[in-house]
Chains A and B, each alone.
Chain A
Amino acid sequence: MKRLFKTYLEKPELAGLILLVLLIVLFQVRSHGVFLNADNLRGILGILPEAGLVAIGVTILMISGEFDLSVGSVFALMPMSMAVLMVHGWPFPLALLAGLLVAAAIGFINGYVTIRFAIPSFITTLGMLFMARSLTVVVSGGFPPLLPADLPNWLFTSFVGPGNMFRMSFLWFVAVAVLTSLMLSRTNFGNWIKATGGFLPAAASMGIPTARVKIVCFMLCSVLSGFAGMLQVLRLGSPLPSIGEGLELQAVAAAVIGGASLTGGIGTVMGGIIGTTLIRVIDNGLVLSHVDANWFKFAIGFLTIFAVVANAWMRKRAKAIKMEG
């Protein structure tokens, strides 16, 4: 049992990975081989980075012991700010920078308010969910602005790779995934994030600047969400103010399915990615297997509850082990 506990702590994404492989096999059989063909994979991989980047941010924030419900709104606000600035003649790089700054500022406010007033981030970011969504509609003036024609799509959304299998966005996604993964496992800052979420009093008593660590995680989460929103807008070709609705809960579901603990300290970037992939695979696989697509949300909901129940059970076991001796 100790072994199981340890495996779970070191590789909390393992259960999700096994489930993912099983589902891929199941869908491949049920769809008579359509699921894994090049066209379908291209479709899945084309939109995976958008939800995946958000999930990475949410997962890291959850490991630090906090929570962000505003990611879906930031997902819409960041590209909308960019579009409005570009309509006013700003060049793309400047608008991109401004958009990322807007996202970072929202992350900072989320973190600062949560820590300064010692309130649950669940509430802070729930408020921000509404405020950022409202701002998105307000700055757009009610009509989505027209995007200029000369956007650097080659850098973000063009198809590349063998058989044009990936979009450029996938490469950004992989780069961010590798960098954040290394940050979490190989740097002292990653150690601080895990310690802060794992047991706050111990982290604080060892001199870790826990407030700063959390605020940085909030900001990273917001910036990644905003960046992901921009990828979606470039793919769709229009900054709709409604994009990203419900994304926050999907991202939390992805993190939890990937093994992140709601109480912090446990989780991996890979887990968040596996969780997101699982959600995308279910979405796509249900359609291909001729199952009523309305079962999609049921499946995600069921998986989330299942994952948290498993989580809670493991935690109880962990406590039992701690009481020994």
Chain B
Amino acid sequence: MSDAIISVRDLHKWYSGVHALKGVSLDFKRGEALGLVGDNGAGKSTLINILSGVHRADQGEIKVEGRAVSIATPRDAMDLGIETIYQYNSMVPTMSIARNLFIGREPTRLSILGVGILDQKKMAEESIRAIANVDLHLRSPDALVGELSGGQRQGVAIARAMHFKSKVMILDEPTNHLSVKETNKVIGFVRGLKEQGVTGVFISHNMHHVFDCCDRIVAMARGEVVLDKRVADTSIDEVHSVL
């Protein structure tokens, strides 16, 4: 398919004898919000970990924008424009928002062998803009992430991904442990991705959340894709019945 931003073909993964992924083939289309659902151990985390560079597939092919790629580290994934936001939060609570936005990708001056002096002015300016772009209202980029609520933190994580022009944003259970109000905020962020032309992959246990903000539902069970339909063509009951 030509409009696929990521396509995976026949992906396999074994964990010490357990066949966690049994030949998964899937196309992630440009600008689409895809909901990935399934029980614990269904293989969704395995698939996501492979795409975000945490694990490597034992077999199979990954293409990003039509080009076969090898994703060996989280950095490789980020360089390809694939950003992952995890349920446990990819933020360091003891550091400021500005510092968190640029972890691992800090703008530097006078850099030698990759180590240089932080451009703190640029970090402050760009983080203010990045946060405003996702409609997150925070007092200051110097506030510590530890001071933020769970929803606000996910907002900062999304702002970070946007700022680095990611093409695909994978949200791994981003609404876990969040209050209803905070959850709605995160769902709003996911809806906003489409306007920015970013492909969203939203993983959740909660069908209502997925149906609320996605265009397409992919259900996995026992390491395989068992359902792949437009939201309009399916229902929560149908998805439940295949899991």
Alpha-carbon distance between A194 and B146 when the two chains are bound, in angstroms: 14
Whether the Cβ atoms of A188 and B108 lie closer than 8 Å is yes
B175 to A: closest C-beta gap in Å: 14
Q: Is B75 an interface residue (CB 8 A)?
A: yes
What's the tally of chain B residues with a CB closer than 8 Å to chain A? 39
Is A253 an interface residue when CB atoms closer than 8 A count as contact?
Answer: no
Q: A207-B74, A321-B147 are in contact. Are A194 and B92 (CB under 8 A)?
A: yes
With contact pairs A191-B103, A207-B104 given, residues A266 and B94 touching in the complex (Cβ less than 8 Å): yes
Contacts of A206 in B (CB 8 A): 74, 78, 90, 103-105
Nearest residue in B to A322 (C-beta to C-beta)?
Answer: B146
Q: Is the CB of A187 within 8 A of B93?
A: no
Q: Are A207 and B73 in contact (CB under 8 A)?
A: yes
In the complex, which residues of chain A have a beta carbon less than 8 angstroms from the beta carbon of B73?
Answer: 207
Would you call A208 and B118 a contact (CB within 8 A)? no
Q: B16-24, B81-89, B228-236: which lies at the A interface?
A: B81-89
- Of A186, A190, A318, the residue contacting B93 (CB under 8 A) is A318
Asked whether, in the complex, the Cβ of B93 is within 8 Å of the Cβ of A199, the reply is: yes
Q: Which residues of B contact A322 (CB under 8 A)?
A: 93, 146
- Contact between chains at B90 and A202 (CB < 8 Å): yes
- Once the chains are docked, how many angstroms separate the CA of A188 from the CA of B118? 6
B179 contacts the other chain (Cβ, under 8 Å)?
Answer: yes
Select A198's contact among B74, B86, B93, B151, beta carbons within 8 Å. B93
Interface residues on A, range: 20 to 34
Name the contact of B92 in the complex, choosing from A188, A195, A324 (C-beta under 8 A): A195
Q: Is A92 an interface residue (CB 8 A)?
A: no
Whether A205 and B84, one on each chain, are in contact in the complex, defined by CB atoms closer than 8 angstroms, is yes
Is chain A's binding surface mostly helix, strand, loop or mixed?
A: helix
In the complex, chain A residues whose CB is within 8 Å of the CB of B104: 192, 195, 203, 206-208
In this assembly, does A201 line the interface, its C-beta being within 8 Å of a C-beta of chain B? yes
Whole-angstrom CA separation of A186 from B110 in the bound complex: 12
Separation in Å of the A314 CB from the closest CB of chain B? 11
Q: How far is the CB of B205 from chain A (nearest CB, A)?
A: 20
| Cα separation A202 to B146 with both chains bound (whole Å) | 13
B149 in contact with A325 (CB, 8 Å) = yes
Q: Does B219 contact A (CB under 8 A)?
A: no
Contacts of B105 in A (CB 8 A): 206-207
Q: Which of B54, B117, B147 lies in contact with A2, CB distance below 8 A? A: B147
Asked whether, in the complex, the Cβ of A205 is within 8 Å of the Cβ of B74, the reply is yes
C-alpha spacing A325/B186, complex, angstroms: 14
A90 at the A/B interface (Cβ < 8 Å)? no
Distance A205 CA – B149 CA, assembled complex (angstroms):
21
Closest-CB distance, B131 to chain A (whole angstroms):
17
Nearest B residue to A204 via CB reads B74
Distance A318 CA – B89 CA, assembled complex (angstroms)? 16
Contact B54 A205 (CB under 8 A): yes
Interface centre among B54, B74, B147, B179 (most CB of A within 10 A): B147
Q: Which of B78-128 contact A (CB under 8 A)?
A: 78, 84, 86, 88-95, 99, 102-106, 108, 111, 114-118, 120
Interface residues in chain B, defined as those with a beta carbon under 8 Å from any beta carbon in chain A: 52, 54, 73-75, 78, 84, 86, 88-95, 99, 102-106, 108, 111, 114-118, 120, 144, 146-147, 149-152, 179, 182
Going nearest first, the 10 A-B pairs with the smallest beta carbon separation are: A325-B149, A207-B75, A198-B92, A188-B106, A206-B104, A265-B94, A198-B94, A199-B92, A207-B104, A206-B103
Return 5 A-B CB contacts under 8 Å, by A number. Answer: A187-B117, A188-B118, A199-B93, A203-B103, A205-B74
